[in-house]
Amino acid sequence: GARDVRVFAHRGSSGLFPENTRAAYMRALAEGADGIEVDLHLTRDGELVCFHDPTLERTSDGAGSVSETTLRHMRSLDVTSWKTPRLPAAYGGISEQLMTLQDVLELLISAERDVSLAVELKHPSPYGHRLEDRALKILLSYGWDPATACIPAGKHRVEVSFMSFSSSSLLHLAEMVPSENLCALFAKVTDGTLEQRLLRSRFAAALRPVAAAVMRGSLRDSEALVWRNEVGIAGPGVKYVHQHKAEAKAWLARGSRMRVWTVDSDDDLDMLMRLGVQEVTTNYPARILSRLGG
């Protein structure tokens, strides 16, 4: 039935609240999302923060690279006013909104229900695979069991999956993580995504053909991981699925899971349900859950 589709909150309930904040994550849990998707970057002092961009400007009042700042500095930033002037008091104060991986785990472990955590490892990172190693180390310290991919939480559990656009990140994780908890992300190569990738580049026009080739190469790598069953979850963008229904059907027929992002419209959801996609990632979990009847 429709409610067999599992719903992940994209950076939390980020349609309503600032992405990757305590408020967005708490709201997603309150709305009944099956899982929460978070983006991880490593700070200069080796802490894992939930933040999407490699730079601070878009979603905070800071400037510069996440990788060159400290956790203490990031905690001092305002990561909410760019979107929401006032947060409900129940979701914590302004200074509590920046989340580390540990903060997210504490939140999910205390959810008093089964919940999934999808961590996206953001590359390229100046720290290479130290990003993955730090994430695994923190998870292990919380009782994460690589065999079950779960963290026990009283009578409940937190199931953890790992996502990346980087095939080398996924292959590194595969040394410890079961393939069914690895998700290869890929997007259709369009000018739109390239514009976003190259937004910060002064040489954008000259680099565009190069960047397109690199993205196509990484797209093929990611698809190959799914075809070879080295990862159990295919994570395409919804535009990709619209243009590659045959691949999607073949993956589903072979028993791969599909977790499609970012699914905010009824039309997209209906198309994915017809295909038999098992998981969707959305900025609006409440809306998608009500459409699914759960």
* Residue from 7, 242, 42, 14 nearest 128 by CA: 42
pTM, rounded to two decimals:
0.92
* Residue from 213, 204, 214, 123 nearest 168 by CA: 123
CA 132 – CA 130 distance, rounded (Å): 6
Structure token pair of residue 56 = 């601070």
Do the beta carbons of residue 7 and residue 289 sit within 8 Å?
yes
What confidence tens digit (pLDDT) does each residue in 54-107 have? 999 999 999 999 999 999 999 999 999 999 989 999 999 999 999 999 999 999
> Residue 204 pLDDT > 70, yes or no?
no
- Residue 17 or residue 217, greater confidence: 17
Which of the following is catalytic: 41, 52, 123, 172? 52
* Residue from 177, 69, 71 nearest 117 by CA: 177
Helical pair 191-198 and 204-227, crossing angle rounded to 10 deg: 110
What confidence tens digit (pLDDT) does each residue in 122-142 have? 999 999 999 999 999 999 999
What confidence tens digit (pLDDT) does each residue in 15-43 have? 999 999 999 999 999 999 999 999 999 99
> Residue 193 pLDDT > 60, yes or no?
no
73 is catalytic: no
| pLDDT tier at 192, thresholds 50, 70, 90 | low
Which residues make Cβ contacts (< 8 Å) with residue 3, sequence separation at least 6?
A: 292, 293, 294
> Residue 1 pLDDT > 80, yes or no?
no
**What domains can you pick out in the chain, each with its CATH number?**
2-188+229-292 (3.20.20.190)
172 is catalytic: no
| pLDDT tier at 195, thresholds 50, 70, 90 | low
- Residue 56 or residue 200, greater confidence: 56
Q: Provide, rounded to the nearest whole percent, the portion of the chain with pLDDT above 90.
A: 85
> Residue 199 pLDDT > 70, yes or no?
no
Which of the following is catalytic: 10, 41, 123, 172? 10
> Residue 145 pLDDT > 70, yes or no?
yes
> Residue 202 pLDDT > 60, yes or no?
no
| pLDDT tier at 221, thresholds 50, 70, 90 | confident
Do the beta carbons of residue 211 and residue 203 sit within 8 Å?
no
Q: Which one-letter DSSP state was computed for residue 281? A: E
How many CA atoms are closer than 13 Å to the CA of 55, on its beta-carbon side? 8
Predicted local distance difference test score (pLDDT) of residue 194: 54
What confidence tens digit (pLDDT) does each residue in 161-180 have? 999 999 999 999 999 999 99
| pLDDT tier at 198, thresholds 50, 70, 90 | low
What is the average pLDDT value for the chain, to the nearest integer? 93
Predicted local distance difference test score (pLDDT) of residue 216: 75
Predicted local distance difference test score (pLDDT) of residue 215: 72
Q: Which one-letter DSSP state was computed for residue 122? A: P
N residues, the chain: 294
